[in-house]
Structure 1
Amino acid sequence: MDISVWLALLALFFAGGLTPGPAVMMVMSASLRYRAPTAMIPALGVSTANLLWISLAATGIAAFAAQLPVVLTALKIAGLCFIVWLAWTMATADPHRPRARAEQAPARANLFGRGIALQLLNPNALVFFGLLLPSYFDHEKPVLPQALIIMATVTVTEMLGLTFYAWLADAMNQRLQSPVFSRWFNRLAAAAMVGSAAFAAVMTTTA
């Protein structure tokens, strides 16, 4: 992979990692409830799902599927339904309950699985990995080394962004310690999550 292509890829996913979307909202909400270290469990789920997306992009399957209207529509509907459900659970969470400790959090597999499911069904991921990422592969060169470089780059940038937001939410919660703040943050995060996914869904329609 040429250094210029890698720098362009780094800029794309670094900006994407810092842009609040469904994954960021999920991690921040988990951080408010369980603290930042536990919030990194769904973050790892998101990064794991990214590896599958990159594999699909490397083989051309993601780009091929993105050109099939029926597949594209099914993915968008499933993704939006799942994100709306997640947003509803966030918006209706009881802010008066004491913050749960890590050992009282839902099973780690559940948090990890939510992160994977969110990213696999996330219309934002479809835009990045199905429509944008395939253009960064040079198919005249071996695909595997390029895929490994992209996996490492995307994982590092994604985790940096999610870690930043997890600790930011944790710091805000520790400073304010207000049920009212938690309630309104979760409601705004839920709205942002749905709005971001809906916007991405429209983009895939018009792309």
Structure 2
Amino acid sequence: MSIWFFIIPFTLAAALPGPAQGALIAQVLTRGGRSTLTFILGMVAGNSLWLVAAISGLSALALRFEAAFVIVKWLGGAYLLFIAWKLWTSAPDGIQAQAGGKRGLLAGMLLTLGNPKAVVFFGAVLPQAFDLTALSVSQIAVIVALGLAIDLGVQVAYLMVAARARAFIRSPRQMRAVNRSAAGLMAGSAALIAMRS
């Protein structure tokens, strides 16, 4: 096993900003870091499911059910548009009362599960790092735990940067501007999700 052939590409892929990170930043700016944690947990859980599918050799099977992923992708995009509309039309402090909770967890999972490119990525990277036919249960557990730790660490770093930016927002006028900017970011993330095949 060459664990670095997994760690380096996965860390780089997780760190590249995409629609999920745009949605994460928008939520931190409008709702705060604490209420965004469930969204991050949903993102990480979705990626972990893709990682387990790739390790188990289910990549080809998962990609055969492309229609299911298209539905999940559109549900994730629709949810982001709903949040964007709520942000745009809310009073400056109104959206903050709605913490992430189960909705945040579901939204994060929908975003990552609706992206079958994740399983393609794992399907391409994992065989370069490991002999997938010879992995023991404990080795699989280590790979999944490592993937969880990397993904969670990267997303928490995004959260911390966005939370520091949020600290400068003080007045209702600034909050309204942030809500509208976040709405645009959410709508843009939904558009990016819709354009991805």
The one-letter amino acid of 2:124's match is: L
Structure 1 moving runs of 4+ over 6 Å = none
Tell me the secondary structure at the aligned position of residue 168 of structure 2: helix
Which of 33, 36, 44 pairs up with 2:41? 44
Which of 138, 152, 162 pairs up with 1:159? 152
* 1:55 match: 52
- The answer to whether 1:113 aligns with 2:102 is no
Deviations 1:149-186 (A, max 9, x none): 22122111111111111122222222144222331243
Size of the aligned set, in residue pairs, is: 190
d(CA) in 2 for partners of 1:10, 1:52 = 17
* 1:175 match: 168
d(CA) in 2 for partners of 1:165, 1:107 = 17
d(CA) in 2 for partners of 1:126, 1:140 = 17
Deviations 1:81-111 (A, max 9, x none): 123213312332235331655xx33462222
Give yes or no for contact 1:58–1:143 (8 Å, CA) kept in 2.
no
Give yes or no for contact 1:22–1:197 (8 Å, CA) kept in 2.
no
The one-letter amino acid of 1:132's match is: A
Relative to structure 1, is the Cα distance of residues 12 and 173 closer, same or farther in structure 2, using a 3 angstrom cutoff? same
The one-letter amino acid of 2:31's match is: Y
Deviations 1:133-159 (A, max 9, x none): 442441342342332222122111111
The one-letter amino acid of 2:101's match is: R
Give yes or no for contact 1:32–1:173 (8 Å, CA) kept in 2.
yes
1:40-189 aligned at under 5 Å gives the runs 40-66=37-63, 68=64, 71-72=65-66, 74-92=67-85, 93=87, 94=89, 96-98=91-93, 104-106=97-99, 108-129=101-122, 131-135=123-127, 136-177=129-170, 178=174, 179-189=176-186
1:16-55 aligned at under 5 Å gives the runs 16-55=13-52
| Percentage of pairs with the same residue | 19
Q: Which runs of 5+ in 1 are unaligned?
A: 202-207
Q: Give the TM-score normalised by structure 1.
A: 0.77
Q: Give the TM-score normalised by structure 2.
A: 0.81
Give how far 1:120 is off: 1.6
The one-letter amino acid of 1:50's match is: N
What is the Cα-based RMSD across aligned positions, in Å? Answer: 2.5
